[in-house]
Structure 1
Amino acid sequence: MNTETQGGHNRAKYLLHVLIVWGLALLSDAFEDPVPETTLIGIHRQSIVLGCSFPVNDGSPLEHTIITWQRVENNEVVHSYYYVKDQLNYQSEQYSGRTSLFPEEFKHGNASLKLDGVKAEDAGRYICFVSTISGTTKEIVFLKFAAYYKDPQLLIKLQLSSATFILESQGYPEASILWYCAEDKNLLLRPNISFVPSEDGLYTLQTTLEVDNTKAICSHVVEIQNYLVNQTVARKFNLLFPQHSFQEDGIYKKWWIVLSSCMLVFVAIIALLLVIYTRQPMKMEEKTKCEVI
């Protein structure tokens, strides 16, 4: 038998074995309770281990062990192992170069899968099938995707009588946004909020709050809360300084007008007194001259 024929025969044996595993799994579903799901949270661009265990007997050979990880939604092959090595010919392109098992742990009944560089499209249900001479085992893992929100960037636009806060960040999933006064947390403000999907599957957050400087007397606080990963990002902004500067400019202008008016009146009085004073000596000098004559 040539090499190509032997390879085809091996693939046929593997496919037959997989069909048997699936058949046994379906039969077990009909007579057993559903397999409980394990829920995990995968963080953007980090690695995660999807757990899967199977029973082993001391001294039992592992060369007949078949391990297959697949997506429940579309049956895509995530990773497969048989003939004592990884078999990735049928692996979905989405997972190429990103998955690995722990062969040294097989003797302990550990068929866990390591997934590197978690992405948004990795979210979903994964099923692990393990077939040994002792029987068939399956487990399901529900993987959720999350990304920590980045340190927000803030832009402040100041107008004569108002100020606008524009805050941007990025993360996943949609976060809860709160704006309130630090002096009274129950005084919630109403900003504009938008979440726009980005190319890498994350959400770009933009929240805008416009404040009237003549009415706002509080330190403004914004909170970004990502409950899936228990993350809270808070920033505090104080509008009192720009508000007071506007008010003080108006006060200074009023005082300058009043002071200028007072100075004009004072100068006018001085000028009038000088005129009166200069005329009185002239009259006395004329009278003296008349008497001498």
Structure 2
Amino acid sequence: MNTDLQGADNRMKCLLHVLIVWGLLRYSDAFDITVPKTTLIGIHSQSIVLGCSFTINGGSSLEHIVITWQRTESNEVVHSYYYGKDQLSQQSEQYSGRTSLFPEEFKHGNVSLKLEGVRAEDAGQYMCFVSNTMGNAKKTILLRFAAYYKEPQLLVKLQPPSMTFILESQGYPEASVLWYCAEYKNVPLKPNISFAKSEDGLYSLQSILEVDNAKTYCNHIVEIQNYLVNQTITRKFSLLLSISERNVQDQNPCDTLAIVFGSCTLVLTAIIVLLLVICKQQHNRQRKKEEKMMSEAE
């Protein structure tokens, strides 16, 4: 009889053990992490939140929660949280003073990371890891870097019988640059376009277009397109003078004009006329001075 009771007791203990293990496995399977499915775009010098949330249930405890954000390419620690507070002794220097969590949101399962002052080197893959009494899980997010292109600056060089436009701006990534005449939009012009990386990781854009006498009557349009942030800058300017009719012999210091585009259509005619008048006056003064010197010499 005692043997039967002991056997039944052992069976009950075994069954209880199975139920406990099954319950733990069930909770572990239910624990999961959710992150954005789409690639995130971080804008130069702005802040961005890398979203990450974990499963909340009745057995969840925040007392033993561990949160770690890392770069998957290098395993660098971006931000860590455990023992109820931030643990940043192992944080990568690149992120020092630029990251934060939202502790008041942990009870809602929100362990998102805020990254301030986004830089070019921040682009890459980030891993969100969460562990608590109910289980642990990790998932990754891809962050891309972008910078809006600045208002372009236009340099105009007078070099009869042609004129050279030099357009400069800065942004990220490499933009699409298109020049054309408004009257012949289907016939794009062919400027020289170059990009150079600056110290802050942005691209410095320079586009050079040489216009001969036959093209000076068109309404020139230039478009800068940054598809990553859906940005398009369109600027228009008109040249109504015939370069062949100009009589400019003294090119210094009147051979270059710097212009910053406004938000409206830019008309260069009056400016160029004024520039030519100034150059001609300077040339006349120089000629009179030379004639006076020659007269005094005689």
Larger Rg: 1
CA deviation string 1:17-44 (max 9, x = no partner) = xxxxxxxxxxx9xxxxxx9854100000
Provide the residue aligned with 2:68 in structure 1.
68
Q: After TM superposition, give the deviation of residue 117 of structure 1 in Å.
A: 0.3
Does residue 175 of the first structure (1) align with residue 158 of the second (2)? no
Question: What SS does the corresponding residue of 1:217 show, helix, strand or coil?
Answer: coil
> Are the equivalent residues in 2 in contact too, given 1:55–1:134 (CA < 8 A)?
no
CA deviation string 1:52-75 (max 9, x = no partner) = 010112473201000000001010
> Are the equivalent residues in 2 in contact too, given 1:50–1:113 (CA < 8 A)?
yes
Which letter maps to 2:123? A
Provide the residue aligned with 2:109 in structure 1.
109
Residue range with higher mean Cα deviation, 154-163 or 168-177: 154-163
CA deviation string 1:161-195 (max 9, x = no partner) = 11110010000000001001111211100000010
Q: Aligned ranges for residues 269-284 of structure 1 at < 5 Å?
A: none
Aligned equivalents of 1:98, 1:36: Cα separation in 2: 21
Flag the 1:215–1:43 CA change in 2: closer, same or farther, 3 A.
Answer: closer
Provide the residue aligned with 2:47 in structure 1.
47
Aligned equivalents of 1:59, 1:36: Cα separation in 2: 26
RMSD (CA atoms): 2.0
Aligned equivalents of 2:159, 2:61: Cα separation in 1: 77
Does residue 159 of the first structure (1) align with residue 153 of the second (2)? no
Aligned equivalents of 2:36, 2:107: Cα separation in 1: 24
Q: Percent identity?
A: 72
Aligned equivalents of 1:37, 1:155: Cα separation in 2: 44
Provide the residue aligned with 1:184 in structure 2.
184
Aligned equivalents of 2:147, 2:184: Cα separation in 1: 31
Does residue 119 of the first structure (1) align with residue 119 of the second (2)? yes
Flag the 1:88–1:151 CA change in 2: closer, same or farther, 3 A.
Answer: same
Provide the residue aligned with 2:290 in structure 1.
none
Provide the residue aligned with 1:242 in structure 2.
241
Q: After TM superposition, give the deviation of residue 158 of structure 1 in Å.
A: 1.5
Q: Structure 1, unaligned stretches of length 5 or more?
A: 1-27, 29-34, 250-293
Aligned equivalents of 1:248, 1:78: Cα separation in 2: 63
Aligned equivalents of 1:144, 1:194: Cα separation in 2: 22
Which letter maps to 1:242? L
CA deviation string 1:82-138 (max 9, x = no partner) = 001000001000000000000000000001000000000000000000001111122
Aligned equivalents of 1:215, 1:148: Cα separation in 2: 31
Aligned length: 215
> Are the equivalent residues in 2 in contact too, given 1:36–1:140 (CA < 8 A)?
no
> Are the equivalent residues in 1 in contact too, given 2:217–2:241 (CA < 8 A)?
no
Q: Aligned ranges for residues 1-293 of structure 1 at < 5 Å?
A: 37-58=37-58, 60-239=60-239, 241-243=240-242, 246-247=244-245
Aligned equivalents of 2:105, 2:147: Cα separation in 1: 30
Structure 1 or 2: larger helix share?
Answer: 1
Flag the 1:68–1:53 CA change in 2: closer, same or farther, 3 A.
Answer: same
Aligned equivalents of 2:61, 2:210: Cα separation in 1: 70
Provide the residue aligned with 1:282 in structure 2.
none
Aligned equivalents of 1:230, 1:38: Cα separation in 2: 16
CA deviation string 1:193-217 (max 9, x = no partner) = 0100000000000000000023443
CA deviation string 1:207-229 (max 9, x = no partner) = 00000023443111111000000
Q: After TM superposition, give the deviation of residue 145 of structure 1 in Å.
A: 0.1
Flag the 1:61–1:181 CA change in 2: closer, same or farther, 3 A.
Answer: same
> Are the equivalent residues in 2 in contact too, given 1:122–1:145 (CA < 8 A)?
yes
Q: After TM superposition, give the deviation of residue 159 of structure 1 in Å.
A: 2.4
Aligned equivalents of 1:218, 1:246: Cα separation in 2: 15
Aligned equivalents of 2:77, 2:215: Cα separation in 1: 61
Aligned equivalents of 2:67, 2:118: Cα separation in 1: 21
Aligned equivalents of 1:235, 1:203: Cα separation in 2: 20
